[in-house]
Amino acid sequence: MGITVNRPLSKPEFAGLLAQLGIEPAPPLREIRIGAGGPVDSNRGFVLHSADWTAEGSLEVDDSYVLTASLDILRAIAEGGGPSQGFLAMGYAAWEAGQLDDEILRNAWLSVPADAELVFGNDHKTKWTRALAKLRINPGMLSGEAGRA
């Protein structure tokens, strides 16, 4: 399972989504950004957030990041609490068993260590280039073609 972090959604707005779900208070005391998490099940939400808050059913991604899919986190945020950082991803990306491992072995993916600014920051247009910069890769040097030398 994967969550896209650089595709913000303008609709639904957080307050409107909470109203649809019957979560008080209205308006919420606090809001978080909503983004397109991926092409699978885009009506389902997942909050990727900092590890300073968890609930029953939260999934620890690593020491810094947690994924929570329960309404408890939305209630906590609406009441002004919850994690210090987070965003609501609508949908997710998914792979068959072993598919992602195979893609990584074929160099179809580049991975970088996550940091809070890449994950939670609002400068979505530069996240990809900033992630590549962590690997010292100039995006202009990437090619969609492959060959053998």
Q: How far apart are CA 109 and CA 107, in angstroms?
A: 5
As a whole-number percent, the residues of the chain with pLDDT over 70 amount to: 97
Q: What is the mean pLDDT of residues 11-24?
A: 95
Instruction: Please state whether beta strands 65-68 and 59-60 pair in parallel, antiparallel, or not at all (unpaired).
Output: antiparallel
User: Residue 144's pLDDT is what?
Assistant: 72
List the domains of the chain with CATH numbers: 14-102 (3.40.1740.10)
Positions of E strands within 33-85: 33-36, 40-50, 59-60, 65-68
Res 118: pLDDT: 95
Query: Residue 145's pLDDT is what?
Result: 74
Give all strands (DSSP E) within 15-55, no chain letters. 33-36, 40-50
Task: Give the model confidence (pLDDT) of 52-65 as tens digits.
Answer: 999 999 999 999 99
pLDDT at 149: 58
Residue closest to 28 by CA, chosen among 86, 72, 76, 64: 76
Is the whole-model pTM more than 0.85?
Answer: yes
- pLDDT of 146 > 80? The answer is no
